[in-house]
Amino acid sequence: MGSRRPFRVGIGGPVGSGKTTLIERIVPLLLAADRSVVVVTNDIVTREDEMHVRVALDGILDGERVVGVETGACPHQAVREDPSMNLAVLAELEGRYPETDYVLLESGGDNLTLTFSPELVDESLYVIDVAGGDKIPRKRGPGLILCGLLVINKTDLAPYVGADLARMDRDSAAIRGSSPYLFTDARAGVGLDRLVGHLELARDAWLTQGSPRPGVSGVSGVSDPPHDHRHAVAGR
């Protein structure tokens, strides 16, 4: 724990929910805050995500700091039951870039049950999008419930797909309890300052106490949400 290695953030969620875009948009914000970052993508079939991130951050983040991991058709296993290959790649990256503050580790997209091994990451985000259906929060997958921060992305699409954001807000509050959730439009940058603020608070707590949440160990349970999620919705 503590400062011997970077703060590792897992980013999970269904295919197409915006995980890769989210990473591409928050990396510049972290760099602007003088944080050093590496990115690991767990692609299911190709190295598409790795290449996409490298191209999107060309000139901003050294391409060598973005590494793809093939998961043998099992994205869940690669971040949960047996994260060996991710741990091996992290060891290589952290050895090559010892000054790194953040590792952003994107899971291969899959379903709502995805959680990260607490031996792999220190904090996790679970990203869903409004176009996937406004009933998703009510489906109560472990991915949505146990993550450190639930991100409901693509709020700009709500009017076009008939998604009721107020309903998603109520349902998210119900399943999350005191744990935080956040509405974002990653492509337009809406809500991302709050997301980065959440990561910084979690990292500070981890650096000082070895846990991303004061007084709490493990992956679930959060004290005060670090932000007002409704403000992010209003700010669309």
36, 70, 111, 138: residue in contact with another protein (rule CB under 8 A): 70
Query: Could you tell me the smallest distance in angstroms from the CB atom of residue 46 to another protein?
Result: 6
- Distance in Å, CB of 97 to another protein, minimum: 16
Structure tokens at 178: 């005191």
Instruction: Name the residue nearer to another protein (CB basis): 86 or 184.
Output: 86
Does 73 engage in binding with another protein (CB under 8 A)? yes
- End-to-end CA, the chain: 37
Q: Contact at 8 Å (CB) between 20 and 40?
A: no
87 binds another protein (CB under 8 A): yes
* Cβ neighbours around 60 below 10 Å, total: 11
Nearest distance, CB of residue 148 and another protein, angstroms? 23
Which residue of 16, 62, 64, 84 would you call a contact of another protein, by CB under 8 A?
84
Q: Which is nearer to another protein, 108 or 180 (CB)?
A: 108
- Residues 207/2, Cβ–Cβ less than 8 Å: yes
Q: Which stretch binds another protein (CB under 8 A): 27-35, 71-79, 176-184, 185-193?
A: 71-79
CB of 7 to another protein, least distance (A): 21
Nearer Cβ to another protein (78/182): 78
Q: Choose among 21, 4, 6: nearest CA to 151.
A: 21
- The single residue among 83, 132, 137, 148 that binds another protein, judged by CB under 8 A, is 83
Q: State in angstroms the smallest separation of the CB of 80 from another protein.
A: 11
Contact 225, 178 (CB under 8 A): yes
In the complex, minimum distance from the CB of residue 33 to another protein, in angstroms, rounded to a whole number? 31
Contacts of residue 158, Cβ cutoff 8 Å, sequence gap at least 6: 130, 134, 164, 165
Residue 78 as a binder of another protein (CB under 8 A): the answer is yes
18 contact partners, CB below 8 Å, separation of at least 6:
127, 129, 153, 154, 186, 187
User: Which amino acid does the sequence have at 174?
Assistant: A
Does residue number 82 form part of the binding site for another protein (CB under 8 A)? yes
| Sheet hosting strand 149-153, strand order edge to edge | 66-70, 37-43, 102-106, 7-12, 123-129, 149-153, 181-183
Residue 89 near another protein by CB under 8 A: yes
Q: Which residues contact 82 (CB under 8 A, 6 or more apart)?
A: none
Task: Give the x/- contact pattern for another protein in 33-62, rule: CB under 8 A.
Answer: ----------xxxxx---------------
- CB atoms inside a 10 Å sphere around CB 29: 16
- Which residues would be at the binding site for another protein (CB under 8 A)? 43-47, 69-74, 77-78, 81-85, 87-89, 91
